[in-house]
Amino acid sequence: MDAPVDAARAAVPPVQPPRGGTPYPLVAREARGGDAAVHVRGVAIGGDAVQVIAGPCSVETESQMRAAAAAVAAGGAAMMRGGAFKPRTSPYAFQGAGPDGLTLLTAAAMRHGLPVVTELTDVRMLDAFLRAGVDAIQVGTRNMQNYDLLKELGRVDVPVVLKRGMSATIAEWLLAAEYVAAGGNRRIVLCERGIRTFETAYRNVLDVTAIPVAKRETHLPVIVDPSHAGGKAWLVPALAAAAVAAGADGLLIEVHPVPAQAWCDAEQALTPGEFAALMRTLRAVAAATGRSLGGDRVAATAQREDIPSGCAQPGPGGSRAPRMRARASDIRDAVR
């Protein structure tokens, strides 16, 4: 018996499970009555425009970041990516440039007016991210179920890009988003990045089906990372086009000035020229689904608000609230 510990435990009230039907009441689609956009320093993710976020897997050097920022801006990206803290499978692989990398990323992106997203792997680094002025914080596939990290991100007013765990069900993914929302931060973007299956011919299987399913189930925007899904540069255009055709609100694409020299994920990075060509294709795919590509800037005053776009325009998934509620039970009933 440990009296102080027992007393402290008794003082913490048990968390009340949500009443009613849904295990994730805050991110459930009916909580907003339709799609909601998340604004990242003037870029609306989840509106009529498909937003492309591009940049290298990892921040390496100042010259690499300057060249990468120029390339993604020239190609028409709305935001820039780049990891300064890398969750690598091997402890001997490059682990990221650390806090200096955050500075290199924000400085390079700022030259072109691009907001940035970068991955937070350790809750102890959150203050450094906030000090560096990171515009959106990425939770990687390996951390989707790091609930303490999710709780801390619930307490900040910075958009969170929540990647799907590589073996997570859609319900688990939405419950991870609910952790962030339950802390008070509703500015969440879901990111499908491929799941593990029995297939070994490519890095992961892009779960295209998850796009309309997630959009039917939640009001949160859903973006897709075709780079980590395919794991090969030549696969990225096909997967990116499929994602936009299936209704994705945006893409997260790895682009490196010289992919062969990349310190991380060299095989899947597009060259600047390949990226520019892909953007031209995506513009046509977006237009075919009644949307546009990027450039969706909003007035500075609206930047910190989520704007529900209402139910007037069902997405490509054809969501309509009553049918959605009736059919959502498969996912929600599976939650334990």
One-letter identity of residue 237 = P
- Any bridge partners for residue 50, and if so which? 293
Per rule CB under 6 A, count of chain residues that contact ligand PEP: 10
Distance CA 143, CA 151 (A): 12
CB 72 within 8 A of CB 80: yes
Of 186, 216, 228, 291, the one binding ligand PEP (CB under 6 A) is 228
Closest CA to 189 of 306, 49, 44, 45: 45
Q: For the segment 256-285, give every residue that binds Mn ion (CB under 5 A).
A: 265
Q: If binding is defined by CB under 6 A, does position 193 make contact with ligand PEP?
A: yes
129: phi then psi, degrees, rounded to nearest 5: -65, -40
Q: Give whichever of 264 and 328 is closer to ligand PEP, judged by the CB atom.
A: 264
Q: If binding is defined by CB under 5 A, does position 57 make contact with Mn ion?
A: yes
Q: If binding is defined by CB under 6 A, does position 175 make contact with ligand PEP?
A: no
Q: If binding is defined by CB under 6 A, does position 256 make contact with ligand PEP?
A: no
Q: If binding is defined by CB under 6 A, does position 190 make contact with ligand PEP?
A: no
Distance CA 278, CA 240 (A): 9
Which of Mn ion, ligand PEP, none interacts with 193 (beta carbon under 5 to 8 A by kind)? ligand PEP
Of 140, 212, 226, 247, the one binding ligand PEP (CB under 6 A) is 140
Show the site string, 104-143: x = touches Mn ion by CB under 5 A, - = not: ----------------------------------------
Distance CA 72, CA 254 (A): 10
Q: For the segment 267-306, give every residue that binds ligand PEP (CB under 6 A).
A: none
Return the structure tokens found at 78.
């709305």
Closest CA to 81 of 72, 89, 90: 72
Positions in the binding site for Mn ion (CB under 5 A): 57, 265
